[in-house]
Amino acid sequence: MSNKKVAGTCYIKVDGDQLAVTGGVEAPLTDVEREAFKTSAGVHYSETDVIPYVKVECVVPKDFPREAITKNDDLTVTAEFANGNVYVLSGGFLVNPAALKGDDGKVELEFNGEKGIWQ
């Protein structure tokens, strides 16, 4: 029997600390972004590198590793998706303001890093 599960619970670890994921988890499938343009000689494209990243929404319990996540700039972020795919971001650091929402106790985090590898 084959595994046809493609969505469901995802797991995120930041330097070994597991976060309580509540929303979506996102990681890039490609290392480059292509933009097409048309010329008199046909369609061509340019390529730019994509910065490796992991985006996640999670709840913030009392023991949330806030200082480690907000201060460190060499994190390893591991995203395990429900379909079994795993994305590992190395040299990671938090980007964009991360604000804790008091009404639901959640925070949206975005990590960028040096290298992202699908395993």
Domains along the chain? Answer: 11-118 (2.40.30.200)
Q: State pLDDT tens for residues 1-52.
A: 556 655 666 778 898 888 889 878 999 999 999 999 999 999 999 999 999 9
Three-state secondary structure along the chain? CCCCCCCCCCEEEECCEEEEEEEEEECCCCCEEEEEEEECCEEEEEEEECCCEEEEEEECCCCCCHHHHHHCCCEEEEEECCCCCEEEEEEEEEECCCCCECCCCEEEEEEECCEEEEC
| Model pTM score | 0.86
Which pLDDT band holds residue 81 (cuts at 50, 70, 90)?
Answer: confident
